Structure 1
Amino acid sequence: MQLTIHQIDAFTNELFKGNYAAVIPLKSWLSDDLMLKIGAENNVSETAFTCQQDDGSFVIRWFSPLMEIDFCGHATLAAAYVLCEEHNISQIRFIADAVGELNVNKNADGSFAMTFPKQAPVEVQNVPQQLLDGLSIQPSKVLKNRQAYFAIYENADQILELKTSSELLKMLYPLDVVATAPSAEYDFISRYFWPASGGDEDYVTGSIHTGLAPYWALQLGKTTLSAYQASSRGGQLTCEVGDTTVTLTGHAVRYLEGTIYI
């Protein structure tokens, strides 16, 4: 069996920036075990598998090197890049078990606007000690949603200087950790740590912005926000917050296309 694999840098218009994802379009599903093995072999933060349905929509599933992930924004962007090019289309409807329907539109400037369900966080009253001990700088407050704990800081310098203990943060599984603060250059910046699910620090995490954007929209009194994820590669997003959705817009560039032999 031969499978075509694409590797795309997402949330960037510059190669070797943003977050990389592998994309494997399928005509029929592989076994879960085989997809997990491929995700581990690829060893990028996520591998997205897609399969087109009779109604033209695409079911999408995401695998980190360790496990299946129920929601991944940057690999959705990467998959949209590949499928729009492959099928010569500018609109895609993805279906994912955990989050439902995900609509993506390719804009005239080549960017992709992805509309996701809003996942606003709520404040935590009893903060886990492993979270506090796992962060070198104590946050001003902590929130959480279904995906992660949100460590809120006063300024961007704290985000850049922050150090973490992966061993302690790993104990928070199944929740990951995002650290965020307002920024002079952007509306807000963040860093995302997921040692139990994929790696110590993710480069650019689209899914968490469905929680970050609603939080900062409320704090800043605006519904369109600019965001930067301050990892070693870095990535930029524009976030538009609606009543029940968050639309994330970003660019993507191709790194490779190849063949997997199984």
Structure 2
Amino acid sequence: MQQRISIFQVDSFTDTVFKGNPAAVCPLMEWLDDSTLQNIAIENNLAETAFFVKTGMGHYKLRWFMPHGEIDLCGHATLASAWVILFELHSEWNKVTFDSLSGPLVASKCSNGCIELDFPSAKPILHQDPDEIKKVLAQAFSLTPKEIYTSRDLILIYEKEEQIRNMKPNLDILKNLPYLCTVISAPGQNVDFVSRVFDANAPTMQEDPVTGSVHCSLAPIWSHKLKKKELTAVQLSERTGYLHCEIKGDRICLRGHAVLYLKGEIII
């Protein structure tokens, strides 16, 4: 017997279709087996597909799948999931709580129409012995970074936005580094900081359009440097994305808009 599943495609961290980062969102009545979830993510062929099941009033279990497997946190797909619930399924609600592999994640409507996500801070560490890795980075990038931080990602700090915008890295050199992504960042001209995010091991799209979870590492770095708790940010991918970050203790509040591109049904 065929099963019909609703699907939404939402562009996150933008208010314009074809910008930001696209994610597929599939609300479920109950969980499908993991192989089916994975096959849906493969078929969608987007960076992430989010699935959620309602567990109580205003509470959902949320999972994220890339085409090559499940991941433990995804900012833009969480924003997309919150948008589907708060603007499509339950527009009367102002808040939703997700249970996830990264713990509880709260998403709230803001007065300006954006959504605020409450995420854990990643607390990146300044690399204490960067000389060896700088040899690798000198081959991968045309410029040596001013500072290097590590979390789940490798974060390279530069001096100017123009350097970030014009960077053309040799990603093959980065494939053997023990980090999820390589992030380059600098102070912004019209915002507090800018960034770009690369996944050298991604099978297709090796530059991520907008990466909410990376800002859980970037926001603490720039908060310390700029002596500010609230920061504005732009990810300078081809699609571009805009974020507002606020430091609240060991949590990071990420705010951004989202826009619906597609809704329909999956038939399996």
Output the TM-score relative to the length of structure 2. Answer: 0.92
AA partner of residue 203 (structure 1): P
**2:97 pairs with 93, 104, 108, which one?**
93
Query: Which residue of structure 1 lines up, in the alignment, with residue 180 of structure 2?
Result: 175
Say if 1:64 and 1:197, in contact at 8 Å, map to a contact too.
Answer: no
Trace 1:66-77 onto structure 2 (pairs within 5 A). Answer: 66-77=68-79
In the alignment, is residue 214 of structure 1 matched against residue 214 of structure 2? no
Query: Which residue of structure 1 lines up, in the alignment, with residue 169 of structure 2?
Result: 164
AA partner of residue 125 (structure 2): V
Cα deviation, residue 110, structure 1 = 1.3
Cα deviation, residue 114, structure 1 = 0.6
Say if 1:130 and 1:171, in contact at 8 Å, map to a contact too.
Answer: no
| C-alpha spacing 1:53/1:260, structure 2 compared with 1 (3 Å) | same
Query: Which residue of structure 1 lines up, in the alignment, with residue 64 of structure 2?
Result: 62
Say if 1:131 and 1:172, in contact at 8 Å, map to a contact too.
Answer: no
Q: Distance in 1 between matches of 2:213 and 2:184?
A: 14
Q: Distance in 2 between matches of 1:130 and 1:68?
A: 29
2:206 is paired with a residue whose SS is: strand
In the alignment, is residue 227 of structure 1 matched against residue 230 of structure 2? no
Cα deviation, residue 126, structure 1 = 3.6
Percent sequence identity is: 41
Query: Which residue of structure 2 lines up, in the alignment, with residue 202 of structure 1?
Result: 208
Say if 1:173 and 1:196, in contact at 8 Å, map to a contact too.
Answer: no
Q: Name structure 1 gaps, 5 residues minimum.
A: none
Q: Distance in 2 between matches of 1:196 and 1:55?
A: 39
2:64 is paired with a residue whose SS is: strand
Q: Distance in 1 between matches of 2:83 and 2:15?
A: 12
Q: Which of 25-34 and 149-158 deviates more?
A: 25-34
| C-alpha spacing 1:134/1:33, structure 2 compared with 1 (3 Å) | farther
AA partner of residue 144 (structure 2): Q
Q: Name structure 2 gaps, 5 residues minimum.
A: none
Q: Distance in 1 between matches of 2:179 and 2:221?
A: 21
Q: Distance in 1 between matches of 2:235 and 2:198?
A: 12
Say if 1:192 and 1:201, in contact at 8 Å, map to a contact too.
Answer: yes
Cα deviation, residue 35, structure 1 = 1.3
Q: Which of 171-180 and 87-96 deviates more?
A: 171-180
AA partner of residue 91 (structure 1): K
Aligned structure 1 segments of 4 or more residues deviating by more than 4 angstroms: 129-132
**1:248 pairs with 238, 243, 254, which one?**
254
Cα deviation, residue 54, structure 1 = 3.4
Q: Distance in 1 between matches of 2:69 and 2:178?
A: 13
AA partner of residue 53 (structure 1): T
Q: Distance in 1 between matches of 2:267 and 2:182?
A: 36
Cα deviation, residue 3, structure 1 = 0.9
Q: CA RMSD in A?
A: 1.5
Q: Distance in 1 between matches of 2:179 and 2:30?
A: 30
| C-alpha spacing 1:165/1:31, structure 2 compared with 1 (3 Å) | farther
AA partner of residue 61 (structure 1): R
Number of residues of Structure 1 aligned to a counterpart in Structure 2: 260
Say if 1:134 and 1:169, in contact at 8 Å, map to a contact too.
Answer: yes
Cα deviation, residue 132, structure 1 = 4.4
1:175 is paired with a residue whose SS is: coil
Q: Deviations over 1:200-253 (max 9, x none)?
A: 000000001011011100000111100000000001001011111110111000
Say if 1:148 and 1:175, in contact at 8 Å, map to a contact too.
Answer: yes
**1:190 pairs with 191, 195, 198, which one?**
195
In the alignment, is residue 107 of structure 1 matched against residue 110 of structure 2? yes
Q: Deviations over 1:82-132 (max 9, x none)?
A: 0112023110001111x2111110112211011111112101134435444
Q: Distance in 1 between matches of 2:20 and 2:207?
A: 13
| C-alpha spacing 1:58/1:132, structure 2 compared with 1 (3 Å) | farther
Query: Which residue of structure 2 lines up, in the alignment, with residue 81 of structure 1?
Result: 83
Query: Which residue of structure 1 lines up, in the alignment, with residue 144 of structure 2?
Result: 138
| C-alpha spacing 1:40/1:173, structure 2 compared with 1 (3 Å) | farther
